[in-house]
Amino acid sequence: MLRLFDFIDSVELVTGHSADRGETKEPEHIATSESGESALSFTSNLPPVLEIIRKSVPSLCDRTRAFKPSWSWSLGDVQTLFGNFASIYAPLTYGRYFVSADSGGALAVDFVSAPWLSLDAPIIIVLPGILGNSQSLYVTSATEYLTRLRNGPVTGYRVAVMNTRGTSGNPLSSAHLTHAGMTDDLRAVVSFVRKCYPESKALFALGFSMGGALLSNYLAEEGDACPIDAGFCVSTVWDLEACAERIEENYLRRLLYSYTIGTSLTRIVHAHEQLFRDAGATGLDELLSRSAVRMSAFNDIFMSHLAGYSDTAAFAAATSPIFRVGKIRRPCVLLNAHDDPFYGGDCLEDLRKRVRESGYDGLVLTITKKGGHVGWLQRNREGNIEQWFARPVREFFDTILSEKILWQNNRKKHV
């Protein structure tokens, strides 16, 4: 039920499908725009993702299902702060496994406890943001919604969370911090998950913020050989340098975001100081001498060198997914909000351009006016607070899986 002072958001849809460039289809929606033979054949036989969204993802195409933040929550910064630090759900129960990484150390992978799921249940690998883990609000919001049992061909998903290195309960075991260019980490997790559940009907991936950037880079690198059936990227930071400028453009954002993230990352480094000293990390002493650190300074002084680059410009050029998003060749939805304090506003114009020029109709950029950064908080019909993005995520994956099952059944008939 719509409440007084609720704000009904609209959605802009941009795709690489040339037939939809520049056309306005509806008043509230603007359309401007390990591997295997079976996986490649399946995705190559899918209809355009924009068509899938219009037909089967009502949260992005139906005003009655659109994002409806309360007036008091409509500001992007408010959505961002509550979406990252509020508590809605009780902590979820996970089973933790450690996966060896080629770059050294171990990756903590948490499987949500969902005993009601069958062994062939489809799997979603979730990639949190730069300081996120399996207990972050946006991860639990998605996990709680995706694991719910439903009638039909898609009953529920098994969720595996690839925790960011060094976060709570996941101490560093090597001198590496997770960044968007560490695609080999995701490769190791994908391989591990596939071995754990070889009978799974499908494998999807959901990335948030930096996790969305990592997922995008991975999908682009894998191209047509990608073992993941489809992806969904939420609040992705597409350009590292553009993000740094945006979160430092005024005092409030510097305080809320740049200093908070930079200082938190510095504390992780401090807690594992000996690891980095033994590795001869450049800039360690200068970094640890500061009590408060901006995100840009953390990258300039330490992170860019740790990742193997001469400076932040080279680091950003090599790891920002904006420069390779057009190489993605798996069905993928990119969800961003125009009022995202990390990557929104004018920053999105370059992303629109690159998605249109990709020429791939499996790639669709969706932009809401409101939502902040990994926020999209609203009250559902029962009056409970939820994060709206979980709805289009499930609707999209449900549809892709249904298409895959239909394709497999048709193929069997002709064998």
Q: Could you please report the per-residue DSSP string of 129-153? A: -TT--TTSHHHHHHHHHHT---SSS
Residues 369 and 226 grouped into a single domain: yes
- Measure the CA–CA gap between 1 and 381, rounded to whole angstroms: 6
Beta strands 29-31 and 385-387 are unpaired
* Averages of pLDDT over each 10 residues, the chain, 415 residues: 43 72 33 35 73 93 88 87 73 88 86 89 96 92 87 80 86 92 95 96 97 98 95 97 93 94 96 95 97 96 96 97 96 96 94 94 94 93 89 95 77 56
Assess whether 308 and 348 both reside in one domain: no
Domain boundary among 286, 319, 352: 319
Q: How far apart are CA 125 and CA 232, in angstroms?
A: 10
Mention every residue, 6+ apart, whose C-beta is less than 8 A from residue 309: 315, 318
- Whether 305 is a known active-site residue: answer no
Active-site position among 209, 235, 304, 320: 209
Write the CATH number for 49: 3.40.50.1820
Domain boundary among 302, 319, 336: 319
pLDDT score recorded for residue 44: 66
* pLDDT given for residue 20 in this prediction: 41
Indicate the residue among 275, 291, 319 that finishes a domain: 319
The DSSP letter of residue 6 is B
Q: Does some domain include residue 382?
A: yes
Q: What's the structural domain count of the chain?
A: 2
Compute the chain's Rg from CA coordinates.
Answer: 20
Position 268 in a domain: yes
* Residue 62 shares a structural domain with residue 112: yes
Rounded CA-CA distance 86/326 in Å is: 35
How high is the pLDDT of residue 115? 87
90 and 166 together in one domain = yes
Decide: pTM greater than 0.75. Answer: yes
**Residue 132, Cβ neighbours under 10 Å: how many?**
24
By C-alpha distance, which of 34, 13, 35, 38 is closest to 24? 13
Active site residue 414: no
> Which listed residue (340, 358, 361, 398) is catalytic?
340
pLDDT at 209: 97
What is the pLDDT, as a whole number, of residue 305? 97
User: Is 340 a known active-site residue?
Assistant: yes
Can you give the residue range of the structural domain that contains 133?
Answer: 11-239+320-403
Name the active-site residue from 29, 176, 272, 373: 373
Q: What is the tally of helices (H) and strands (E) in the chain?
A: 17, 13
Same-domain check for residues 53 and 104:
yes
